[in-house]
Structure 1
Amino acid sequence: MSTQTLVLVPGLGSDAAVWRRTIAALGDACRCLVGDTLDSDTLPDMARRILDRAPSSFALAGVSMGGMVALEIMKAAPSRVTHLALVDTKARPDTLAQRLYRRLANLVVASTRDFEGLARRSQSSVVHPSAPQDVRAELTQMSLRVGRNAYIRQNRALAARGDLRKVLATLAIPTAVIVGAEDRMTPVRLSREIHALAPGSLLHVIPDCGHLPPIEKPDITAALLRALLSRR
């Protein structure tokens, strides 16, 4: 397991910082690489960019949008992935109402004069109320670093994505489905759906956790990833 490479994919408006605490908690359990999703216009293009930079064989974990990118990777190159973790994500496409909401969110982000304040306020729907202040501050700084243009571009990519549920039935590798019990953005029922459609997958619901276990509950997330990597 010490030589295994784990590719980690960030979510919407996120960079490597969303995985930093989990990477630290993993220690020398594996070699971690964080995929770059910031310069692509579609989920398949994000998947291609990650595949271009990844080794020939690797384990894969994606959170939120990153889980959808992970499923695009499984569709494009399933033979290269040894283990899969889908964290607080969904496989079904957006409804019309959800696509309209994304369009409205993009308009608000594009027009606000207080992007930092907007980033802080949005955390009420992202992390659990018990999330400490240093986690919240780190998320705000990440949002500012990634910027509004990348957020808008990624939100458009999410609105345009297809139905990824059909990919789940093709999975033939150890798979973990991980979700925060209090996730308001992708509720537990969506992870239960993924678990039901992915053969042999294991479902893990993390108590007192919102949408981002890799930064909210890094020790638990790392333990679940180590257990996944030990499966054959």
Structure 2
Amino acid sequence: MEVNPPALVMLPGLLNDHRLWAQQAEALAGQVDVQIADLTRDDSTAAMARRVLDEAPPRFALAALSMGGYVAFEILRQAPERVLRLALFDTMASLDSAERAATRKGLLELAHRGRFIGVSPQLMRRLIHSRWLGSHVSAAVQEMAAAVGKEGFIRQQQAIIDRADAVPLLAAIRIPTLIVVGADDQITPVTEARLMHERIAGSRLEILPECGHLPPLEAPERTTDLLREWLDV
């Protein structure tokens, strides 16, 4: 039996904090008990997952974006019985390609040397749809990155590099699962969302038009509506 009101734990992505999900948390307040996790304090997805589980209610719905999705998969490895529902936004179960892994390691090395600039203009163009460049959305992205900072980035990037392959886990997921991806996501593209959808029985796939990697900021109302339907509240 699900708890009433339902508990919802939300996991941010790389260089994101609670502000990523703030609009959804506010809109769902009163209908669900929302908790937005802090994923800046650990340098492995396993440790991040343990911390989330230590701070979460006994049973909860779990919504995650990008790096948060990697942590969500680890939560399902550690305590699958505690997760009632799963929502995966702009993430992937696959490991990085060799090229992408090399890029991550290069950025990590630069950060260790002290060269941390947050979200560069080049990365911003990959993160969000072009219509949001120079807007409140891009400003929010920069503010979150600055708040996470160099040390948080180093811990998060190391966790991503060392994460386990989640593809073998997908077939075992038997809870109501929502998969959402921006049609123009260049970080975790639609092909990755389709792979998860194909492997997770009964999952629902939603592709958001004119949206990049950050639907909670780029399409906040639609994101809230999808979460409300998924939560059945």
TM-score by length of structure 1 reads 0.93
Correspondent of 1:65 among 64, 67, 72:
67
- 1:202 paired residue number: 204
Candidates 11, 14, 17, aligned match of 2:16: 14
Q: Classify the secondary structure of the residue corresponding to 1:179.
A: strand
Number of residues paired by the alignment?
Answer: 230
Displacement, 1:215? 1.3
Q: Tell me how far apart the structure 1 counterparts of residues 115 and 95 of structure 2 sit (CA, whole Å).
A: 31
Is the CA contact 1:47–1:69 (under 8 Å) kept in the aligned structure 2?
yes
Whole-Å separation in 2 of the counterparts to 1:71 and 1:47:
9
Q: State whether residues 25 and 222 of structure 1, in contact with CA within 8 Å, keep that contact through their aligned partners in structure 2.
A: yes
The residue that corresponds to 1:81 in the other structure is: 83
- Matched to 2:132, the amino acid is A
Cα drift, residue 176 of structure 1: 0.3
> Which stretches of structure 1, 4 residues or longer, exceed 6 Å deviation after superposition?
none
Counting only pairs closer than 5 Å after superposition, residues 60-139 of structure 1 correspond to structure 2 as: 60-111=62-113, 115=117, 118-131=119-132, 133-139=135-141
Quote how far apart the aligned CAs of 1:146 are.
Answer: 0.5
Task: Please give the per-residue CA displacement for 1:152-204, whole angstroms capped at 9, x wherever unaligned.
Answer: 22111111111101111111110000101100000000000000011110000
Distance in 2, Cα, partners of 1:204 & 1:28: 25
Task: Give 5+ residue unaligned stretches, structure 2.
Answer: none
Matches within 5 A, 1:31-70: 31-70=33-72
Structure 1 residue 134 displacement after superposition? 1.0
Q: 1:227 matched to which residue of 2? A: 229
Change (3 A) 1:84 1:45: same
The answer on whether the counterparts of 2:116 and 2:150 sit within 8 Å (CA) in structure 1 is no
- Deviations 1:6-51 (Å, cap 9, x if unpaired)? 1000101111111112222334331110112111110011000000
- Paired residue type of 1:10: P
In 2 relative to 1, CA 120–28 (structure 1 residues): closer, same or farther, beyond 3 Å? Answer: farther
> Please, which runs of 5 or more residues in structure 1 have no aligned partner?
none
Give the partner amino acid of 2:54: D
Query: Which amino acid letter does the alignment assign opposite residue 84 of structure 1?
Result: L
Residue identity (%): 38
CA gap of 1:110–1:73, structure 2 versus 1, over 3 A, is same
Distance 1:14 1:169 in 2: 29
Task: Tell me by how many angstroms 1:62 deviates.
Answer: 0.5
Q: 1:143 aligns with which of 137, 141, 145?
A: 145
Q: Which of 192, 210, 213 is the matching residue for 1:211?
A: 213
- What is aligned with 1:158? 160
Matches of 1:67 and 1:24, distance apart in 2: 22
**1:121 positional shift:** 4.5
Distance 1:141 1:204, change over 3 A: same
Counterpart of 2:14 in 1: which secondary structure?
coil
Matched, 1:178 2:158: no
**Alpha-carbon distance, 1:108 to partner:** 3.5
In structure 1, the residue corresponding to 2:132 is in which secondary structure?
Answer: coil
Compute the TM-score of the two structures, normalised by the length of structure 2. Answer: 0.93
